[in-house]
Structure 1
Amino acid sequence: MTTQITNNPDSNSAYMKLSKEKIAYTLPIDEGVLADYDKNGIVVGIEVIFFSQWKNLNWSELQAKAMQKTKGSAQKPIPKMSK
């Protein structure tokens, strides 16, 4: 799958979709940034909240932070809400 980045001006957020896998859980990786993971702990997407306030946003850096979070992270995941 090709990486897709979408911007939602109404919610002032942006999302980088990395995979078509189902989201199992979400972890905060930075202030205003949430990473979605599949059941195996692989990053499937990254959401940036208050997108317009970010200067020099580096998606690659955020992706690296998201991948580090699953390596022995003691943080409890945020459960994905069912629709």
Structure 2
Amino acid sequence: MTAFVFRSQGRPTRDSLVMRVITALTELEIEGAGIELLARGIRAASDGEGGLVIADVSGPPGWQTHADALLARHGLKCSPYTV
């Protein structure tokens, strides 16, 4: 299990950042990407770069790289969370 940071990219949308993350992760689960949003869930926050979502996700190594197109379709970019 690893925590990932999701941020908006591209043009703004009407949907909240949290809802876009949940929708994208659900689509990835349905497509059989082997990922799962863990029970600890999602935390929304912001920093000097704007809004962000930290989500605990389990999945095969590098899943976020393979999901780039789907994440971009939802106006998201993803990177591992580091403290």
TM superposition score normalised by structure 2: 0.28
In terms of fraction of residues, the more helix-rich structure is 2
- Which protein shows a greater Rg? 1
TM superposition score normalised by structure 1: 0.28
